[in-house]
């Protein structure tokens, strides 16, 4: 096996996880206590108390929301863990995180993941596997600049070997994982799906399935799709056909789900609207694409966020 350490926000949470294990609920509702190594993500890794404290990992999976990447304490903790051989695998929805990480860690080896697996942290020591899917991973482009992503990838045998090894290990661990030759394109496809589904479900407080059943909601969705599609198509070389049908399929397949943005507004948490709709509006405007439906939905979500304490 491989040594895996959970990096937590606080020392207390890491201590509890080491002492009691992770309470894991599988898809079939069976529960298990899994012994885990855990360390707080502090700027001083040597302060950790397990045998792994202070080691620089081969891979760090970043499974935080986009806005955590703007938290200096988080970045300092990460900085202390990223060694010359460390690879960062980013699971964030939306866009902008790769540019932010490339700017903050210029020497880091960056990879991105697009996943249809679902996971929910139900308490500081418990996680539920909420959806079975596929995780596609690929190397981030070597030329990351704000607003423009070239899809030319690094060509390094060593990087390809580590990626293939990681994919093999994840598959052996039961996490269906595949190599993506153009992960940026896949991130933009996911962005389009999230940009169309998430804000409307969050404002109307409806499930993904209701979105396509409600004629008014689905006509708004279509307007949002047209401009979002144009903005995405201006960024990537080729988009698969039938993206609209794919979005309808996602709604049908996840009909009872409440989107992550809806869950965030219900819990009064900051949403990922900036990394999804906000970024897409900026990119659309740069290309002269009218983004009026997106701008309205963006403003409504921001208004809801600023009213959380009201």
Ligand X SMILES: NC(=O)C1=CN([C@@H]2O[C@H](COP(=O)(O)OP(=O)(O)OC[C@H]3O[C@@H](n4cnc5c(N)ncnc54)[C@H](OP(=O)(O)O)[C@@H]3O)[C@@H](O)[C@H]2O)C=CC1
Ligand Y SMILES: CC(C)(CO)C(=O)C(=O)O
Catalog residues that contact ligand X under the rule CB under 6 A: 8-9, 41, 63-66, 68, 71, 74, 91-93, 115, 118-119, 121, 260, 272
Q: Tell me if 259 contacts ligand Y by CB under 6 A.
A: yes
Query: In a 10 Å sphere around its CB, with 0-12 CB exposed, 13-18 middle and 19+ buried, how is residue 277 labelled?
Result: buried
On whether the CB atoms of residues 45 and 86 are closer than 8 A, the answer is: no
The count of other CB atoms within 10 Å of the CB of residue 40 is: 20
121 binds, among ligand Y, ligand X, none (CB under 5 to 8 A by kind): ligand X
Cross-sheet strand order for the sheet of 59-62: 59-62, 87-90, 109-115, 135-139, 177-179
Selection from ligand Y, ligand X, none that 239 binds (CB < 5 to 8 A by kind) is: none
The smaller minimum CB distance to ligand Y, of residues 110 and 250, is found at 250
Minimum separation from the CB atom of position 199 to ligand Y (A): 11
Q: Which does 119 bind (CB under 5 to 8 A by kind): ligand Y, ligand X, none?
A: ligand X
Closest CB to ligand X: residue number: 93
Residues 6+ apart with CB under 8 A from 171: 177
- Measured from the CB atom, the residue of 151 and 254 that comes closer to ligand Y is 254
Give the number of C-alpha atoms closer than 13 A to the C-alpha of residue 109, restricted to the C-beta side: 19
For the four alpha carbons of 246, 303, 260 and 209, in that order, the dihedral sign comes to negative
Task: Choose between 89 and 250: whose C-beta lies nearer to ligand Y.
Answer: 250
Pick from 177, 180, 198, 271: which binds ligand Y (CB under 6 A)? Answer: 198
Give the closest residue to 199 by CA, choosing from 208, 188, 212.
208
Q: How far is the CB of 263 from ligand Y (least distance, A)?
A: 8
Binders of ligand Y: how many residues, by CB under 6 A? 11
Among 105, 254, 270, 282, binds ligand Y (CB under 6 A): 254
- Min separation Cβ 288 and ligand X, Å: 29
| Distances from the Cα of 270 to the Cα of 98, 135, 162, 277, angstroms | 20, 25, 35, 14
Residue ranges in 92-151 that form contacts with ligand Y under rule CB under 6 A: 93
193 binds ligand Y (CB under 6 A): yes
Out of 66, 92, 180, 260, the residue judged to bind ligand Y by CB under 6 A: 260
Q: Is 221 in the site for ligand Y (CB under 6 A)?
A: no
Does 197 contact ligand Y by CB under 6 A? yes
Site for ligand Y (CB under 6 A): which residue of 250, 273, 275, 301? 250
| Residue among 221 and 289 whose Cβ is closer to ligand Y | 221
Which CB atom, from 76 or from 158, has the smaller least distance to ligand X?
A: 76
Closest CB to ligand Y among residues 177, 259: 259
Q: How many CA atoms lie within 13 A of 296 on its CB side?
A: 11
Contact segment (CB under 6 A) with ligand Y among 63-71, 135-143, 145-153, 257-265 equals 257-265
Q: Coil, strand or helix: which one is 137? A: strand
Q: Which is nearer to ligand X, 118 or 209 (CB)?
A: 118
Which of these, 239, 305, 296, lies nearest to 266 by C-alpha position? Answer: 305
Q: What is the crossing angle of helices 243-253 and 215-233, to 10°?
A: 130
Strands (E) across 163-288 are located at 177-179
138 in Cβ contact with 181 (< 8 Å): yes
Specify whether the CB–CB gap between 112 and 89 falls below 8 A. Answer: yes
- Binding footprint of ligand Y on the chain (CB under 6 A): 93, 193-194, 197-198, 208, 250, 254, 257, 259-260
């Amino acid at each position: 096996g491989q040594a895996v350490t959970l990096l937590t926000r606080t020392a207390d949470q890491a201590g509890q996880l080491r002492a009691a294990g992770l309470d894991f609920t599988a898809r079939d509702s069976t529960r298990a206590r899994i012994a885990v190594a855990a360390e707080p993500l502090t700027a001083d890794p040597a302060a950790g108390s397990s045998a792994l404290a202070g080691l620089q990992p081969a891979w760090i999976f970043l499974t935080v929301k986009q806005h955590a990447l703007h938290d200096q304490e988080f970045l300092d903790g990460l900085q202390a863990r990223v060694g010359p051989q460390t690879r960062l695998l980013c699971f964030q929805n939306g866009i902008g995180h790769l540019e932010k990480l490339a700017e903050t860690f210029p020497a880091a080896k960056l990879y991105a993941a697009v996943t249809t697996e679902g996971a929910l942290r139900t308490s500081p020591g418990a996680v539920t596997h909420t959806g079975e899917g596929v995780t596609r991973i690929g190397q981030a482009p070597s030329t990351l600049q704000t607003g423009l992503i070239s899809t030319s990838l690094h060509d390094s045998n060593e990087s390809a070997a580590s990626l293939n090894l990681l994919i093999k290990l994840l598959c052996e661990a039961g996490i269906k994982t595949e190599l993506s030759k153009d992960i940026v394109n896949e991130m933009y496809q996911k962005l389009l799906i999230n940009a169309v589904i998430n804000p409307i479900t969050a404002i109307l407080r409806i499930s993904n399935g209701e979105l396509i059943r409600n004629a008014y909601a689905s006509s708004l969705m279509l307007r949002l799709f047209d401009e979002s599609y144009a903005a995405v198509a201006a960024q990537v070389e080729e988009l698969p056909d039938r993206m609209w049908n794919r979005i309808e399929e996602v709604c049908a397949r996840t009909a009872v789900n409440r989107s992550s943005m809806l869950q965030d507004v219900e819990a009064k948490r900051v949403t990922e609207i900036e990394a999804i709709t906000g970024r897409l509006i900026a990119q659309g405007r740069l290309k002269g694409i009218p983004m009026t439906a997106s701008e309205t939905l963006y403003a409504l979500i921001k208004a809801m966020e600023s009213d959380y304490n009201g």
